[in-house]
Amino acid sequence: DAAAAAWTFGRETDALRYPNHEPAHIGDLELWRYTIDEIHAAAKARPVNRRLAKVFWRGACQNNEWQRQRHHSVNDQRALNSIGLAKGMSTFNIGDGACAGDFESGNRARLLAASLTVSDSKHFDVKCQILAPPQNFTCIKDKAYAAELTQASKDVLENSRTIEDEAWIDGTDYTKYKYLLNLPGK
C-alpha cells in the first residue's frame, strides 16, 4: 500500500518521496492513509455509471523556464545545459524562451490535454491551476507535432479563462468523474 519515487537528477540532494496529494501530508503517513480512506469511501458512494462522463485533471500547465526562474539552482541549470548539449540541443538559459524540447515532455502533455478542453469541453475537464505553458517548439524535429503544439499553446492562451482554474479540488471530488487523467509533472 505504498508508492515512492527516487531521483538524483535536478535536485540538490538524492531523494526518496511518497505521494503528497496535499502539502499537509508531507511527513505524515497517517494523514495520507486517512485521506486515501476518504477517497475510497467517496468512490464507493458514487457508482461509476452515475459519474460525469468527462476526462478530469487539475495541475500546473507551465514550462521549465518558468520553473527554473522560481525553483532551480545554478547547478540544476548547468546539469540541464550539459545534458541538452549532449543531445545536440541548445543550452537552456533562464529567461531566453528556450525551446520545449526533451525536458518539457510532461509540460507538452499537459498543454495538449488542456487544449482538449478548449476543443471539446463536453468530454474534457482538464484545467490548469498555474497557466504558463511552453510556447517555443522550434527544436522539435517532427514539424507536424511542433505545429500541433504551437496551435495548442495558442488555443490555451486565447482561452485562458476557460483553462485556468486556481480552485483547490479535494481528492474526494475527483470521484465525481468517470475518467481521471494521469499526466506527468504536477
Distance CA 74, CA 80 (A): 10
Q: Which residues pair with 15 in a beta bridge?
A: 7
Mean pLDDT of 64-93: 47
Cell 521549465 belongs to which residue? Answer: 64
What pLDDT shows up at residue 139? 87
Mean pLDDT of 92-113: 71
Give the confidence band of 93 by pLDDT, cuts at 50, 70, 90: very low
Residue-averaged pLDDT of the chain: 76
Q: Would you say the pTM of this structure is higher than 0.75? A: no
Cell 541548445 belongs to which residue? Answer: 90
Output 68 or 38, whichever has higher pLDDT.
38
Asked if residue 117 has pLDDT above 50, the reply is yes
Distance CA 127, CA 116 (A): 10
Give the confidence band of 67 by pLDDT, cuts at 50, 70, 90: low
